[in-house]
Amino acid sequence: MQRLKILIVDDDPHLVEALNLWLSKYDYEILTAENGDQALGILRSGKTIDLVLSDFMMPELNGLELLRMAKSSTELFSVKIVLMSNNADPEFRKRAADLGAVDFLLKTTGAKAITERIVGILSPGTVPAKLRENSANAQSMSQALVGLLEAVSACEGLPEATRSTLRSARILAGQLSAHIGQAAD
């Protein structure tokens, strides 16, 4: 059986290395490019690429332009392309979806969470047991964090600035727990 090929396109070598490490655990063949121009060259070389995971903002040719060019090409139209960015602006997500991106991921979720999404895209309905277990553990830990923050907030004599920080942290921990719960489903 032929290994699935993923092309990671990003100008951040640390993220590329982290994604390569996580994705290679699933026996994917990983190719990399530093920008959209290099990625387009790889895509046009005739290699079968099962999924492109591309940064949104890069020098040379950005991910949005790479997506636009691939979807306007009869040879590359069927390639699955996922865009990712540090920018959570909903307009980025909308622009990516309008041009045919399979998904739009936030880099801030981390290489592990991005890997889980990629595995789900390439193998729909089959999230590996280890990923389900890790998601369940992460959800338990984030719920425990919410409880801990509530307990600390109940302590008397804390300055208002500390109470405010704890309220914010409790809200964020609750949102994280909900997000992890949705991802585990």
Over residues 60-104, the pLDDT tens digits come to 888 889 999 998 888 888 899 999 988 888 888 888 888 899 999
* Rg of the chain over all Cα atoms, to the nearest angstrom: 19
Task: Give me the CATH topology for the region 5-126.
Answer: Rossmann fold (3.40.50)
Dig out the tokens for 55 from the structure.
């940064």
Q: Flag whether the pTM goes above 0.75.
A: no
| pLDDT confidence bin for 38, thresholds 50/70/90 | very high
Give residue for tokens 């923050």: 149
Query: How do residues 8-20 score in pLDDT, each as one tens digit?
Result: 999 999 989 988 8
126 within 8 A of 105, measured Cβ to Cβ: no
Strands of 80-85's sheet, edge to edge? Answer: 29-33, 5-9, 51-55, 80-85, 103-106
| Nearest Cα residue to 53 out of 42, 38, 69, 39 | 39
* Confidence (pLDDT) at 178: 64
